[in-house]
Amino acid sequence: MFAPRSSRPVTIAVYPQKNGLRRRKKDENATPAIELERILGFTTSKPTVLSTAPTLDLVAYAAGSVVVLYNHKKNKQVALLHASSSTTPIQQTNSNTSNWSAAFPNRHTPTDSVINPLGSLGLLDPQSANNGNTTSNSKKTPVSNKAKPISCITFSPDGNYLAVGEAGHQPRILIWDVQSRTLVNELKGHKYGVLALKFSPNMKWIVSLGFQHDGYLNVWNWKSGTKVACNKITTKVHTLAFSRTGAYFVTAGLRHVKFWYFDANGNLPKKQGGQSITKTVQVLDGRSGILGDLRDNNFLDATCCQKTDHTYFVTSNGLLCMFTEGRLMDKWVNLQ
């Protein structure tokens, strides 16, 4: 005879929990214990992604979305600059910094120069990973604020600032303070990548040149973050260079040599009737160089002499051309 199901004895095994096997609660405020100390390799493939500051013994080059500052005398990387997607302005409390705050209204915190290895590789942001919510944060980050490959770099004439241009859709121009490693401003105006950047000799302006699909040549007041002049370039352009006085700069490209003029003091000329785009942005004045028989050449690079008013261009078929300040080709020589 079998006992009814309800009267069968039931045995319950109870196992004591060991403290060593108990799962600990995750600390939501913990940050990943990972730091980027050194970068191997680079993504520099053209002259515009390499710049030097002789007074500081620094060389800047691109490695993906990171700028590496290399001290050639110390033979080591002294800083890695990377703009995160969540930057906040510095709250100035000291009266001595009021002038600095007025000059750079968009200055960012020094923590923005700290490398976020996961974010720079397009993976999880440590802050969003800690909160357990990666989808909502990624949707809130504008496309223009996401890290992009670096396409051009240039130091200011005194070596204290570094301008960095990005590639891709809705790129930024990032202005870094080299000494404090802080991001002092962001300039947004190009749509499809920044090809080249240059500070004016008086350090009042930054000139930026967009990729061919962008086609715009912009002049910025980089301290206030405003665009003051621009013009459209329809041909393929490779580079730009400033004259020693800052009275003009040149652009060079496919069947293209053009001189863009400021006044004698390196300032923008006063707006004339019908030459302004908006109330704050005017049309940049440019005049083509007189190429003569070399009009069908592809001008790859340009540099302005620091002792005379001559400008030198090199072409894809090995010609070195010298232009005068009056846009006239004075002489040329075949380097091949």
Percent pLDDT > 90 in the chain is 46
pLDDT in tens, 166-220: 998 889 999 999 999 999 999 998 988 999 999 999 999 999 999 888 889 999 9
- For residue 44, pLDDT over 70 is answered with yes
What per-residue confidence (pLDDT) applies to 120? 36
Question: Which pLDDT value is given to residue 101?
Answer: 44
Q: What is the pLDDT of residue 128?
A: 37
Average pLDDT, the chain: 77
pLDDT digits (tens, 9 = 90+) for 61-117: 999 889 999 999 999 999 999 876 554 433 333 334 444 444 444 554 444 444 433
| pLDDT for 255 | 93
Can you give the pTM of this predicted structure?
0.73
Q: Does the structure show a pLDDT above 90 at 36?
A: no
* DSSP conformation class of 222: T
The model's confidence at residue 46, banded by pLDDT at 50, 70 and 90, is confident
User: At 145, phi and psi to the nearest 5?
Assistant: -100, -5
CATH number (3.60.150.10, 3.40.720.10, 2.130.10.10, 3.80.10.10) of 226-336 reads 2.130.10.10
- List the alpha helices (DSSP H) in 65-172: 98-103, 117-120, 126-131, 135-140
Q: What is the spatial distance between Cα 195 and Cα 151, in angstroms, rounded to a whole number?
A: 6
Task: Determine the average pLDDT of the residues in 313-321.
Answer: 95
* Residue 309: pLDDT band with limits 50, 70, 90: confident
Q: How confident is the model at residue 142 (pLDDT cuts 50, 70, 90)?
A: low
What is the C-alpha separation between 297 and 256, in angstroms, rounded?
A: 8
* Cα 283 to Cα 110: distance, rounded to the nearest angstrom: 36
**For range 121-129, the mean pLDDT:** 35
**3-class secondary-structure state, position 242:** strand
Q: Per-domain residue ranges for the chain?
A: 39-188, 226-336
The amino acid at residue 325 is: E
Within 8 A by CB and 6+ apart from 335, the residues are 314, 318, 319, 320
* Whole-number pLDDT of residue 57: 92
Top pLDDT among 87 and 59 is at: 59
